[in-house]
Structure 1
Amino acid sequence: MRVITGSARGRRLKELEGMETRPTTDRVKEGLFNILQFDIEGRRVLDLFAGTGQLGIECLSRGAASAVFVDRRPDAVKLIRENLKITDLQDRARVVAGDSMEYLKSLREKFDLIFLDPPYEAGLLEPALAHIARFDILAPHGIIVAEHPAVRTTPALAPPYRVHRTYRYGKIGLTVYHRDANQDSEEKIP
């Protein structure tokens, strides 16, 4: 598992042992960053259910302003910190050890780009999407990328959130959500 491009290009990231964490495959990761290539630089990123931290690290390498990594597993938190050190990107990163759902409930900041890749069998994707929409933590014109089994349909969200598109990579699906601008801010633009 390597960083694809940017300041940390080619650096090999450490992986977690065991089957509890399923890193995003190279094919899916490459497709994902082809989709997002013009939406990363200068953005604030949230890598929820971060695992190895590879998605947020790839964004930092490509010029994201900052990234927050959240995972409940102590070994994952330790590994994310090690991977940030390997890539020399820790200065723009914050690692949070704890439950992702509780973290969403306590947030007081907004993000431009949110990655959701919970363990498939845990049933956390739909509640995480609902929390993000309910607490409105995605900035106007922000993007959510949810990874899921390709056979599963992700839920629609109430406006200003909307499903932009779903991509399939074999057995894996990526659903991209966009958040429209705030109505009141649109009305003020001449």
Structure 2
Amino acid sequence: MTRVIAGSAGGRRLAVPPGNGTRPTSDRAREGLFSTWESLLGSLRGARVLDLYGGSGAVGLEALSRGAEHVLLVESDARAARTIRANVRALGLPGAELRTGRAEQAIAGPAPESGPYDVVFLDPPYAVADEELREILLTLAGNRWLAPDALATVERSTRGGDFGWPAGFEGLRARRYGEGTLWYGRAASTCDNAS
């Protein structure tokens, strides 16, 4: 079990998917993640958040608990997707949307009519190559899924070395939490990225 750390659902427990198919972001890393997002954005109130490797849904549901307007969780593992659905129902927070399937498929088309995302979080299995994540970020920018100056955060194994941001993204900082490192970046305006 893990929990929502703060906000309207703070302290509520969340189920985690069975098996080894997911690697939940630790409470300590999530605290650091949200502290950084809030320092860079000012607040999550009204933000649109895209979590491309949803796992248990902990990051997306934490964002809703802290005031995000909408969170799109993408998850390819069927057991993890069931866990996300159960956690969404248990918390009863409005604004959560789940898409099952691979991240690349979920973002292949144009951005949703409801608008671009202010924050994107990519926490794939460590076996996923950095190049694949750079391609996903470029697709997000090219298909206008990201708001101008959107924040992007990538969680990678601390053993993997530095994460290189693709063209159109500026690396801001990195924070290490045990086996994982959170890499923070910012997208240039979507008009600049779409060229």
Q: 1:109-166, CA deviations, whole angstroms, 9 ceiling, x for partnerless residues?
A: 310011100111132433322322333421012101110012322122223x211111
Does structure 1 residue 113 correspond to structure 2 residue 98? Answer: no
Conservation of the 8 A alpha-carbon contact between 1:167 and 1:175: yes
Alpha-carbon contact 1:71-1:97 (below 8 Å) kept: yes
Identity of aligned residues (%): 36
Q: Which runs of 5+ in 2 are unaligned?
A: none
- Which of these residues, 158, 172, 177, is aligned with residue 180 of structure 2? 172
Establish whether residue 95 from structure 1 lines up as the match of residue 98 from structure 2.
yes
Residue among 132, 135, 153 paired with 1:145: 153
What is the alpha-carbon distance in structure 2 between the residues aligned to residue 153 and residue 24 of structure 1? 19
Determine the structure 2 residue equivalent to 1:187: none
The aligned counterpart of 2:14 is 13
Letter in 1 for 2:3: R
After superposition, the CA RMSD in angstroms is 1.8
**Shift of residue 183, structure 1, vs aligned partner:** 7.1
Q: Take 1:170 and 1:72, find their aligned partners in 2: how far apart are those partners?
A: 26
Shift >6 Å, 4+ stretches: none
The TM-score, its normalising length taken from structure 2, stands at 0.86
The letter for the 2-side match of 1:155 is: G
Is the Cα contact below 8 Å between 1:45 and 1:56 reproduced in 2?
A: yes
C-alpha separation in 2, matches of 1:183 and 1:102: 23
- The residue that corresponds to 1:125 in the other structure is 133
3-state SS of the aligned residue for 1:96? strand
Answer yes or no: is the 8 Å Cα contact 2:44–2:66 preserved in 1.
yes
| TM, length-normalised to structure 1 | 0.88
Task: Name stretches of at least 5 consecutive residues in structure 1 with no aligned partner.
Answer: 185-190
1:64 paired with 2:72, answer: no
8 A Cα contact 2:50 2:121, kept in partner: yes
Question: How has the CA–CA distance of structure 1 residues 98 and 182 changed in structure 2, closer, same or farther, with 3 Å as cutoff?
Answer: closer
Corresponding residue pairs, total: 182
1:97 maps to a residue whose letter is T
Aligned to 1:80: 84
